[in-house]
Amino acid sequence: MQMNNKDPLMTDEEAAKLLSDALLPESLDPLFPINNAKFYFECHITLEDKGMIDNTTDPPSVNLERFNELHKECYEFGFFLSKFANENKKEKELEVIATSRDTNFLMMVERMKEIMSYLKKKGFVVDRYKIEHAILDSNLEDTLKLF
């Protein structure tokens, strides 16, 4: 389950366009560090799996055997698996989210595509995916000198 770096899924130009399309026009900068972020890019993939989470119980229950099995599989792709309460829904509901970080945007996109392909083959439904760019993180640097 190692990444294939020989055949990239996206060129530097395609990645730059994807990133620039996601930014507001006033923030576009030709020197923007697309491939090497100061902090990191973080990917989140929200999964749906009826056999892992039972949201019909109160509180919702988790099939820990299935969760731990998937956690090990995601770890091989460089992702960690977590369960979170979905705050956007009226009812109490748990979601399973695979998360990963990388300082290189292209590598993050590649790993995201690889794990999503794998998860789909395993029968999981991907509800959402996103990549965030951390521009400030006090765990890594007290940029604003607030501590």
pTM listed for this prediction: 0.72
Confidence of residue 113 (pLDDT cuts 50, 70, 90): very high
Helix pair angle (105-121, 12-22), 10° resolution: 90
Domain boundaries, the chain: 60-129
CA 53/CA 62 separation, integer angstroms: 5
What is the tens place of the pLDDT at every residue in 14-69? 777 766 665 544 444 555 556 667 788 999 999 887 678 787 887 778 888 888 99
